[in-house]
Amino acid sequence: MMLLIDAGNTRIKFGWVERQSGRRETAALTLDHAALDRFPRWLAQLPAPPVAALGVNVAGASICAAIESCLALHACPIAWVTSGSEALGVRNRYQSPDQLGADRWVSMLALAQRAQDARAGQTTGREPESALMLASFGTATTIDTLSPHLSFEGGLILPGPELMRISLAQATANLPQARGETTAYPTDTHGAIATGIAAAQAGAVLRQWLIGLEHYGRAPRIYSAGGGWPIVQQETLALLAAAQTRLGLPITAIEWLAAPVLDGLARLACEQ
């Protein structure tokens, strides 16, 4: 059994995979940084002792050291994944591939697996292939595109929904940390802030979708992830549906991915 670790800016997700069978955890363990002391208890309850760990870390050196110290007590070595120019048939088009966040890169490997599974499942004909987009709403929001030929094209980084909310409250004299509802024309401050945040996030998703539609001649398939998705889900779906209707395209769902980084790590672990 190999552990899978996604150390993010705010939270850490833990999973596992059996390399021979591909069997995975039923639900990942998600901990805030301050709750990392709960990790050893979860580790002790695993079906089998892990022989090694594979992870990505964008949380900094102190979190990295804390995880490594805990794993050392269980004689479990860890390898930290970094971004490269190519892996598992996916090409990285970043100008300096090593500057791409490892979490974003590994998530693209997970998306590529979905594209490859879809191709393998086609039984009649061959529909034109679509680009894939992953909109991940965490501390930062990232919106990345994988081409039909499994090339990571690049993407956006912007403050996540909660970070937008906090920054408005901290950097202004009179604005609260709003918890309002999104409306077409907000008539109170909480609603204005909540709607502005959702509109900014949804607008960024729609921008990338429209660029993908024009560039590839076919609408990208969109996936979502991250704890901020419920904050912007309604606005994003409504904006996308309005654009699809105006363009005469079918209304398509945005598929939720619970742990794309862990999915990508599992793929790396099983195919190394």
For residue 150, pLDDT over 80 is answered with yes
Does some domain include residue 241?
A: yes
Q: Are 15 and 261 in contact (CB under 8 A)?
A: no
Q: Are 134 and 223 in contact (CB under 8 A)?
A: yes
Residue that finishes a domain, picked among 80, 100, 133: 80
Shared domain for 154 and 60, answered yes or no, is no
- The parent domain of residue 7 ranges over 2-80
Does some domain include residue 113?
A: no
Pick the residue with more confidence: 120 or 124? 120
Place of tokens 């208890």: 41
Q: Are 161 and 137 in contact (CB under 8 A)?
A: yes
Does some domain include residue 98?
A: no
Q: Is 38 among the annotated ligand-binding positions?
A: no
For residue 124, pLDDT over 60 is answered with no
Q: Is 222 among the annotated ligand-binding positions?
A: no
Other CB atoms within 10 Å distance of the CB of residue 246: 8
Shared domain for 235 and 150, answered yes or no, is yes
Q: Is 8 among the annotated ligand-binding positions?
A: yes
Does some domain include residue 96?
A: no
Residue that finishes a domain, picked among 64, 80, 96: 80
Does some domain include residue 97?
A: no
Q: Is 94 among the annotated ligand-binding positions?
A: yes
Helix axes 189-216, 229-246, angle to 10 degrees: 50
Tell me the C-alpha distance between 47 and 42, whole Å. Answer: 10
Q: Which residues pair with 55 in a beta bridge?
A: 5, 80
Looking at 60-69, 116-125, 237-246, which range is the least confident one? Answer: 116-125
Q: Which residues are catalytic?
A: 103
Shared domain for 152 and 222, answered yes or no, is yes
Order of strands across the sheet with 255-256?
86-87, 90-92, 151-159, 140-146, 132-137, 221-225, 255-256
Number of domains in the chain: 2
Which residues, in sequence order, are CB contacts of 190 under 8 Å at separation 6+? 176, 178, 179, 180
Q: Is 183 among the annotated ligand-binding positions?
A: no
Average pLDDT, the chain: 92
Shared domain for 62 and 142, answered yes or no, is no
Does some domain include residue 272?
A: no
Shared domain for 56 and 172, answered yes or no, is no
Residue that finishes a domain, picked among 80, 95, 112: 80
Does some domain include residue 100?
A: no
Does some domain include residue 14?
A: yes
Shared domain for 24 and 131, answered yes or no, is no
For residue 171, pLDDT over 90 is answered with no
> How many angstroms separate the Cα of 204 from the Cα of each of 82, 134, 268?
26, 12, 30
Shared domain for 50 and 159, answered yes or no, is no
Angle (nearest 5°) at CA 96 between 54 and 228: 60
Shared domain for 67 and 130, answered yes or no, is no
Write the DSSP string, 114-141.
HHHHHHHT--SS-PPP--EEEEEESSEE
Q: Is 12 among the annotated ligand-binding positions?
A: yes
Shared domain for 128 and 244, answered yes or no, is yes
Q: Which residues pair with 7 in a beta bridge?
A: 12, 57
Q: Is 212 among the annotated ligand-binding positions?
A: no
Shared domain for 73 and 131, answered yes or no, is no
Whether the predicted model's global pTM rises above the 0.85 cut: yes
Shared domain for 15 and 143, answered yes or no, is no
Shared domain for 250 and 188, answered yes or no, is yes
Percent of the chain with pLDDT over 90: 78
| Residue 215 banded pLDDT, cuts 50, 70, 90 | very high
For residue 250, pLDDT over 80 is answered with yes
In the chain, DSSP assigns E strands to: 2-7, 11-17, 29-32, 52-57, 78-80, 86-87, 90-92, 132-137, 140-146, 151-159, 221-225, 255-256
Q: Are strands 86-87 and 2-7 parallel, antiparallel or unpaired?
A: unpaired
- DSSP 8-class letter at 89: T
Q: Which residues pair with 5 in a beta bridge?
A: 14, 55
What are phi and psi for residue 227, nearest 5 degrees?
Answer: -70, -20
Q: Is 218 among the annotated ligand-binding positions?
A: no
Q: Is 102 among the annotated ligand-binding positions?
A: yes
Pick the residue with more confidence: 146 or 173? 146
The CATH number of whichever domain residue 254 belongs to comes to 3.30.420.40
